[in-house]
């Protein structure tokens, strides 16, 4: 999937703005070595560095990393696969905001994080949890089926686990989970009735790959219409976000 890093920063800044709240859980201490896993365009990585840490930001998207390097040339960024990475020098903490649900190989990611941490190191993250954008996914699948795109409808874009699923995986890889919460966080969409189409174009583009432009527009309009009773609150549209946040320690 190719990311539009400019559009991400301009129209979907809520991704890292909400992440500032998760940073408090990270509780950065000056001099700590910290990895920001799935750092996107690097805004939170920069904040971690400003708190005195020695930080590295990694992301699977070359477009995101190129933008991050341009925005923050004094921060260490690299293109890496969150499900399969290695470091000789171990981290005090691994931080991740709104990225792990993109990693379908959850075991690979957890194993890589565990191996990259010092003993006693912490893994602090927030991701989409079970039921995240459930209505949107349901509407998208229905409309794609109606248009005969049955294979597209079955596209697996994200992994949204329950508390039990993810904490079990963490424990199986040797972590002790010290904090976990799964909560609703309805999230405002910009640009009114265009918000759904813009969200899907940005984050769910895989559903629409290869569909002709005019039909794509029609499909997005139909998805929006299905979602309007649930998403439109007096002109302000909201997506049905559910988040999973946790702290796990390498014992």
Q: What is the CATH number of domain 5-250?
A: 3.40.50.150
- Residues 6+ positions from 214 with CB-CB distance below 8 Å: none
Q: Where are the beta strands (DSSP E) in 22-70?
A: 33-37, 54-59
Domain boundaries, the chain: 5-250
Pairing of strands 117-128, 175-184: unpaired
Cα 73–Cα 79–Cα 83 angle in degrees, nearest 5 = 140
- Residue with structure tokens 């294979």? 151
Residue 144 zone, left/alpha/beta (φ > 0; ψ -120 to 50; rest): alpha
pLDDT at 21: 80
Q: How far apart are CA 50 and CA 45, in angstroms?
A: 9
Buried b (16+ CB within 10 A) or exposed e, 49-80: beeebebbbbbbbebbbebbbebbeebebeeb
pLDDT value at residue 22: 86
pLDDT block averages, 10 residues each, the chain of length 251:
47 53 92 97 96 98 96 98 97 97 98 98 97 98 98 96 98 97 92 93 93 96 98 95 96 92
Per-residue pLDDT of 195-210, as tens digits, reads 999 999 989 999 999 9
Q: Residue 222's closest CA among 240, 208, 202, 236? A: 208
Q: Whole-angstrom Cα distance, residue 128 to residue 121?
A: 23
Secondary structure letter of residue 213 according to DSSP? H
Q: What is the pLDDT, as a whole number, of residue 190? A: 86
Note the pLDDT of residue 243: 95
CA distances from 194 to 113, 119, 218 (A): 38, 48, 13
Q: Among 150, 132, 1, which Cα is nearest to 62's? A: 1
Q: What share of the chain is helix, strand, coil (3-state, %, to 5)?
A: 45, 25, 30
The pLDDT, as a whole number, for residue 8 is: 45
17, two tokens: 């703005």
pLDDT digits (tens, 9 = 90+) for 139-160: 999 999 999 999 999 999 999 9
Contact at 8 Å (CB) between 249 and 176? yes
Q: Tell how far CA 103 is from the center of its chain.
A: 9
């Amino acid at each position: 999937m190719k990311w539009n890093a400019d559009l991400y920063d301009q129209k979907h800044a809520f991704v890292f703005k909400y992440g500032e709240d998760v940073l408090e859980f990270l509780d950065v201490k000056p001099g700590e070595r910290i990895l920001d896993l799935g750092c996107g365009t690097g805004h939170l990585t920069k904040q971690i560095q400003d708190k005195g840490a020695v930080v590295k930001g990694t992301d699977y998207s070359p477009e995101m990393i190129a933008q991050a390097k341009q925005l923050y040339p004094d921060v260490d960024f690299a293109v890496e696969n969150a499900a399969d990475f290695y470091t000789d020098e171990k981290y005090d903490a691994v931080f991740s905001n709104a990225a792990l649900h993109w990693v379908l190989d959850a075991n690979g990611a957890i194993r890589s994080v565990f191996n990259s941490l010092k003993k006693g190191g912490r893994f602090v993250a927030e991701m989409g949890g079970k039921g995240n954008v459930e209505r949107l996914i349901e509407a998208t699948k229905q409309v794609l089926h109606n248009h005969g795109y049955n294979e597209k409808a079955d596209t697996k874009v994200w992994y949204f686990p329950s508390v039990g699923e993810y904490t079990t995986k963490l424990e199986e890889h040797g972590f002790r989970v010290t904090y976990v919460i799964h909560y609703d966080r309805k999230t405002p969409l910009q640009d009114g009735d265009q918000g759904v189409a813009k969200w899907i174009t940005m984050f769910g583009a895989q559903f629409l790959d290869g569909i002709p432009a005019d039909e794509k527009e029609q499909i997005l309009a139909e998805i929006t219409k299905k979602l309007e009773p649930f998403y439109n609150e007096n002109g302000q549209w909201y997506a049905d976000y559910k988040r999973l946040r946790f702290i796990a320690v390498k014992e």
